[in-house]
Amino acid sequence: MFSQDIPTPEPETPFRPRQPYRFSTLCATVENPSQKDQYGSSSVPIYQTATFKGVNGQYDYTRSGNPTRSHLEHHLAKISSATHAFVVSSGMAALDTILRMLKPGDEVIAGDDLYGGTNRILAYLKTHGGVTVHHVDTTKPDTLLPYINPEKTAMVLLESPTNPLLKIVDLARIAADIKERAPNAVIVVDNTMMSPYLQRPLEHGADIVYDSATKYLSGHHDLMAGVITCNRDDLAKQMGFVINAAGNALTPFDCFLLLRGSKTLAIRMDRQQATSMLVAQMLDRLGFKVHYPGLAEHPNRDVHERIADGYGAVLSFTTGDKALSERIVGATRLWGISVSFGCVNSLISMPCVMSHASIDPATRAARGLPEDLIRLCVGIEDPADLLDDLERALLEAGAITLTAGGDSHQCYVRTIPSEGTAISRAVQKLAFNGPAEYTTEHNDDREWFVSAPGKVILFGEHAVVHGVTAVAASVDLRCYGVTTPRHDGKVSVHFIDIDSFTQEWKVDDLPWDAVTPVRVGDFHPDTLDHKLVDAITTRALSPEVLAKPSARQACIAFLYMYMIMAHGGKRPSFNFSARATLPVGAGLGSSASFSACAATALLLLYSRIQLPAQPAPTTEGHVHVSHGGRRAIPPALAEEVNRWAFVSEKILHGNPSGVDNSVSVFGGALSYTRPGFGRKAGMIPIQGFKSLRFLLTDSRVPRNTKQLVAGVAAMKEQEPEFVNGLLSAIQHISDEAQRALADPQLSRQTLLSALSALIDENHGYLVKLGVSHPSLEAIRSKTASPQYALSTKLTGAGGGGCAVTLVPDDLSESSLRELMASLSGDSFVPYLTSVGGSGLGILSPYNQPQLLATPPESPCESEARAGAVESLRDTFAGKATADLTAWADNLGRWLFV
């Protein structure tokens, strides 16, 4: 340890006083007046010795002190605005030294976005040291207040900017709050991300500051070191004792390396910061969600500029897809894949699988640490080379695409959901300025046509509530949605299947004061904003709407997403019309398909998602393979839609499983297991699912889903052994079904036979659970009669609703028509459908006419528009249900997930 004495140059004359040296001069100038070298060496010598001869000398044993270390500690104290400085073997050794001041019963307040190693050692203290640790969002100073205990709060551990999300913490305000409420608490700041060049927390109220000198202070990644600085003698005495006792002081040779590296700190960081800004701006222009304090929209940027002298050389960004992020990282050449930062060489990493992998996934998710996050640590290479290498990696990974504009210039455009900033939209406009390209610059000036399939639960109804795996698949009966511009300051809905319900609102009259917007690129919180739901219910819905339950919930879901997605002052005026070819309320996922359509339409209107550019056409040197629009919508876009569709489902149903909206968005088939039952939870796509034909028969008997679910739960409580046996049997059915559906070598005839037997078996268990209904049994009896011999089961909640019948390939069309006519004669409504088809669909805007339908403001305008293309909305509302699908298909090319 060394108590530094900052030398202030004496004035040469009374008329021209000297100014204190600036930081870069202090860095390059290693002066210790109390330790002049006997030979006048211009570089501090390495005292590579374990012991020193003599008695009562300044040094006796290098563990306790060494001249090379003393020079280094004096130098670091000087550039850190500190009285005391210590150097130890690593940044974590520095933190360990500081934390050894804690005792059992003490409480620590720490941030929720800390370096992974910091979390690891705090977790150890919490488990083994009797220390209570409170992780809070330190970017909001008020969140610390409830945890401050004047008697127990012993330490507050802060980091700004945080690693790796670059969150900004108001060090000065928090220090003042802590000193006022818990004067004895020690305020500790990890300053590694900034270094003393850009931020000196001791000047803002911190008691102790530590850095991993492995990073910027050294700058070359050729040593491990940690630095501790402080101004309080009592703290210095305690830490000096620990270092001497534990023996973790830095070795003489490493002291020499660190002293040499620190001389170039300022010049290195100037280059690294300048390049970092260029990298951040490039990624931001492309539409990625970028975390960097230098960007104008970075949260708490004003706070950072008040306490720091620069923005640093670390940034991070998200792509929307973990696999895409992995491809980007792997595609770089100049950016080295490595943990750590602060080196002269640029590094790239994925924190969740590297530096922060020691934090369990659940904790990472709770703290908002995205699994797809990429961290960039910028070095001193030529900026042009770094930008080119990153651009090439993005292109190779499929994160951006090169498009040719109408004037033959080429631009890079992001191929996954845009963050919707004005800059990124302007770039996209430039990129898609040719007649064959499309821009979303005027999304509110065109009609969007979207669709999503319904779903059928093939196996596992009711049992899924108790942890049994359910198997669900999409059906080719779909919900459709059309947005039509109004430009009159109003937003309206037309729900054709709910008694042709219509409602409109003045945009400015909606309860905007109750909205907490979800920023572009951020995820909606796990819980609904009930303040907004209540405001919409009480202030935006009339008594007439409130009296219609189905329309009421659909309006709330629509307005909730419309308002909470709003950003940048944009509040589009338009109409949203929705209708379906599948029966509403029959357990076929009509609400989920509505949610997917509404979410997609709003995301498009708000430019929160962007459609990919058209693929290059077939030319002499290139072949374009058409897939009929299948898989044209990238997974990241689908994920964003699915997240918002799930929000809508929460409003419509309270506590949905997420199965219905996932099937509506992704299509195909999937298995779902609810968490909390000792079995691996989540949704898993069933790959290789073969399209199957089913007859869905609506019994037209209303049902009470909640009552049916409660009935099974009550039976389980009364007869646990009996019900658990049934649930176990249904789990075996789901397992068999998954294997059969995913087996590419299983013949179709064997598959159909197996599914037929499983359907009969599953229905039998559902009957024993008491969830069937006479109408469903009547349907089942008719389809099982000798002339058809088909297998049928209830689907969904049962108690009415729909039955699902497997249609084998060898059933003649005449027999099928006869069966459907017979069911219709019994007042049932049969639908013939295929299962396992495409998910979310968007009518491609490329080469489509702009079907505008702005209400005319004068008779002249009305006449002028008489020859205009008829709006989709008009035809959409008037089409017969039986003709809707064919009409929609013939409008143009559809893009599907």
So which residues are the catalytic ones? Answer: 63, 115, 190, 215
Q: What's the one-letter identity of residue 231? A: N
Which of 718, 754, 801, 840 is CA-nearest to residue 461? 801
Structure tokens at 570: 């944009």
Measured in degrees and rounded to the nearest 5, phi and psi for residue 401 equal -135, 150
Residue 892 DSSP one-character state: S
Can you give the C-alpha Rg of the chain in angstroms?
33
Strands in 553-668 per DSSP E: 574-580
Which of 291, 283, 273 is CA-nearest to residue 394? 283
Residues 154 and 105: beta-carbon distance below 8 Å: no
SS3 category, 355: coil
SS3 category, 712: helix
Residue 165 DSSP one-character state: T
Helices (H), 482-572: 530-539, 543-546, 549-564
Q: How far are the Cα atoms of 183, 485, 843, 874 from residue 891, in angstroms, in the given order?
A: 71, 19, 8, 14
Pairing between β-strand 226-230 and β-strand 490-495 as defined by DSSP bridges: unpaired
Buried b (16+ CB within 10 A) or exposed e, 243-276: beeeebbbbbebbbbbbbbbbbbbebbebbbebb
Region for 111 from its dihedrals, namely left if φ exceeds 0, alpha if ψ lies in -120 to 50, beta otherwise: beta
Q: What's the one-letter identity of residue 138? A: T
Q: What's the one-letter identity of residue 356? A: H
Residue 453 DSSP one-character state: E
Q: What's the one-letter identity of residue 631? A: R
Sign, Cα dihedral of 732, 735, 738, 739: negative
Q: How far are the Cα atoms of 192, 224, 248, 353, 618 from residue 90, in angstroms, in the given order?
A: 12, 5, 9, 22, 58
- Matching residue, tokens 């640490």: 369
Measured in degrees and rounded to the nearest 5, phi and psi for residue 187 equal -95, 120
Q: How far are the Cα atoms of 105, 144, 154, 340, 782 from residue 110, in angstroms, in the given order?
A: 16, 9, 11, 21, 67
Region for 340 from its dihedrals, namely left if φ exceeds 0, alpha if ψ lies in -120 to 50, beta otherwise: left
Q: How far are the Cα atoms of 753, 779, 782, 813, 818 from residue 785, in angstroms, in the given order?
A: 17, 10, 5, 17, 13
Q: How far are the Cα atoms of 51, 580, 698, 699, 778 from residue 829, in angstroms, in the given order?
A: 95, 15, 5, 7, 13
- Matching residue, tokens 């700058």: 219
Residues 582 and 475: beta-carbon distance below 8 Å: yes
Maximum CA extent, the chain: 116
Sign, Cα dihedral of 566, 576, 897, 692: positive
Q: What's the one-letter identity of residue 235? A: L
Q: Number of helices (H) and strands (E), helices first, in the chain?
A: 28, 28
Whole-angstrom Cα distance, residue 625 to residue 307? 56
Q: At what angle do helices 635-653 and 659-666 cross, to 10 degrees?
A: 150
